């Protein structure tokens, strides 16, 4: 594998890891507050559809982004209503959101555009354009560092850089602010938070809405940054992969970045190398493309070490009288 191939592989890794990173951080906020959310997939899918649909109708990727985030936050609010207000089963609520999004996006898409659930191809301002970082051209001739900066870090949409910035922002919010301290506490011991006179319901709803916002960014990037429109089931299991990355990262932001980059690398390898020889045997194309999902199963099966979730995770809080 030559250096140019490595550079192209790293570039693809960053692009493919971005939606996973947004979704992983979304799950991090939600689960740190004690609300398990396997509906990340559905919220991403809804955001992808509405961002692409609105961008196609208005010609503005930014308006599409707002629409995608709004759609995702509505589904997040529904999940919060079911699991926090009515104390329903959080896993069932998440599954329902996934089914709801999968069906509604195709139904509404076919009704609006009559393209079998797809949206029209996005062009121009309806898509987020790649940005060139400062001095990228002038530094490109420097050995090793130049290509890494000008071809790997530079040349992505603004949402890629927003995803990278979201990692230190999440770390700061969760571990250096009063809100973050309370959010983590409500995922560990909500009764103690309630005793201190702090609203458990309010904190959990805040976490769920933040989760919806980040899923909206993930879905909007899929449809208006990584691709040029919406197609049926385009999230392709990324929400579940993000959950696996979250477990792999042990609910920590910086580890989440590493885990998402690993999944992005495997995805890039599958796309780049349709077949590869190992010990004289050629691995089939399907195996290469399934690498991220295989790793997901390995992680969820517990082969990467013990990961301890927040103690109050998945349990509705009932205030003592």
The answer to whether the Cα torsion of 52, 53, 57, 62 is positive or negative is negative
26: in domain = yes
Task: Say what the pLDDT of residue 307 is.
Answer: 73
Beta strands in the chain (DSSP E): 276-278, 281-283
pTM: 0.94
With a cut of 70, say whether residue 97 has pLDDT above it.
yes
The CA distance from 131 to 116, in Å, is 33
- Phi, psi (deg, nearest 5) at residue 231: -130, 160
Q: Is the separation of the CB atoms in 212 and 26 below 8 Å?
A: yes
Please give the tally of structural domains in the chain. 1
Lowest mean pLDDT among 77-81, 233-237, 280-284: 280-284
Per the domain annotation, does 164 fall within a domain? Answer: yes
Q: Which domain holds residue 199?
A: 3-239
At 270, the pLDDT band (50, 70, 90 cuts) reads confident
CA–CA distances in Å: residue 119 to residues 6, 101, 105, 235:
34, 15, 10, 15
Beta bridge partners of 282: 277
Q: Would 218 be classed as within a structural domain?
A: yes
Mean of the pLDDT values across residues 164-184?
Answer: 96
Whether 255 is in a domain gets the answer no
Of the pLDDT bands very low, low, confident and very high (cuts 50, 70, 90), residue 297 is confident
Task: Tell me the pLDDT band of 269, cut-offs 50, 70 and 90.
Answer: confident
Q: Is it the case that residue 46 has pLDDT exceeding 70? A: yes
How far is the C-alpha of 232 from the C-alpha of 245, rounded, in Å? 24
Q: Which residues pair with 283 in a beta bridge?
A: 276
Contact 158, 166 (CB under 8 A): no
Q: Is the per-residue pLDDT at 281 higher than 70?
A: no
Alpha helices (H) along the chain: 3-32, 40-58, 61-80, 90-113, 136-139, 145-147, 158-176, 178-188, 190-195, 200-221, 238-248, 253-272, 285-289, 291-300
Count the neighbouring beta carbons within 10 Å of the beta carbon of residue 279.
4
Position 263 in a domain: no
137 compared with 51, residue with greater pLDDT: 51
Residues paired with 156 in a beta bridge: 131
- Beta-carbon count within 10 A of 240 CB: 18
Token digits of residue 114: 């009559």
Q: Is residue 313 part of a domain?
A: no
* pLDDT the model gives residue 205: 97
Q: Residue 304 domain-assigned?
A: no
Residue range 117-139: mean pLDDT, rounded: 91
Average pLDDT of every residue of the chain: 90
∠ Cα 94 258 293 (to 5°): 50
Residue 293, pLDDT score? 80
Locate 188 and state its tokens.
Answer: 């560990």
Distance of CA 39 to the CA centre of its chain: 11
Q: What span, in angstroms and rounded, lies between the C-alpha atoms of 283 and 207?
A: 43
SS3 of residue 176 by DSSP: helix
Residue 294's pLDDT band (cuts 50, 70, 90) = confident
């Amino acid at each position: 594998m030559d250096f140019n191939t490595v550079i192209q592989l790293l570039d693809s890794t960053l692009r493919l890891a971005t939606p996973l990173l947004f979704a992983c951080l979304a799950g991090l906020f939600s689960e740190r507050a004690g609300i398990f959310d396997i509906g990340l997939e559905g919220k991403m899918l809804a955001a992808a559809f509405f961002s692409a649909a609105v961008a196609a109708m208005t010609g503005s990727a930014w308006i599409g982004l707002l629409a995608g985030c709004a759609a995702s936050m509505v589904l997040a609010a529904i999940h919060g209503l079911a699991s926090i207000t009515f104390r329903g089963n959080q896993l069932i609520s998440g599954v329902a959101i996934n089914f709801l999004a999968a069906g509604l996006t195709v139904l509404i898409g076919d009704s609006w555009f009559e393209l079998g659930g797809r949206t029209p191809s996005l062009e121009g301002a309806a898509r987020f354009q790649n940005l060139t970082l400062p001095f990228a051209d002038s530094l490109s001739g420097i050995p090793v560092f130049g290509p890494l900066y000008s071809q790997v870090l530079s040349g992505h949409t603004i949402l890629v850089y927003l995803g990278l910035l979201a990692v230190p922002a999440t770390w700061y919010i969760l571990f250096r602010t009063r809100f973050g301290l309370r959010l983590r506490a409500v995922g560990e011991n909500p009764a103690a938070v309630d005793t201190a006179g702090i609203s458990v319901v309010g904190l959990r709803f805040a976490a769920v809405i933040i989760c919806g916002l980040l899923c909206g960014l993930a879905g909007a990037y899929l449809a208006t940054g990584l691709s040029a429109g919406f197609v049926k089931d385009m999230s392709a299991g990324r929400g579940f992969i993000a959950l696996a990355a979250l477990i792999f990262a042990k609910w920590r932001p910086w580890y989440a970045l590493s885990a998402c980059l690993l999944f992005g690398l495997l995805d890039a390898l599958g796309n780049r190398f349709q077949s590869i020889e190992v010990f004289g045997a050629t691995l089939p194309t399907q195996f290469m493309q399934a690498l991220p999902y295989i790793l997901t199963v390995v992680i969820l099966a517990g082969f990467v070490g013990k990961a301890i979730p927040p103690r109050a995770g998945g349990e509705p809080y009932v205030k003592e009288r």
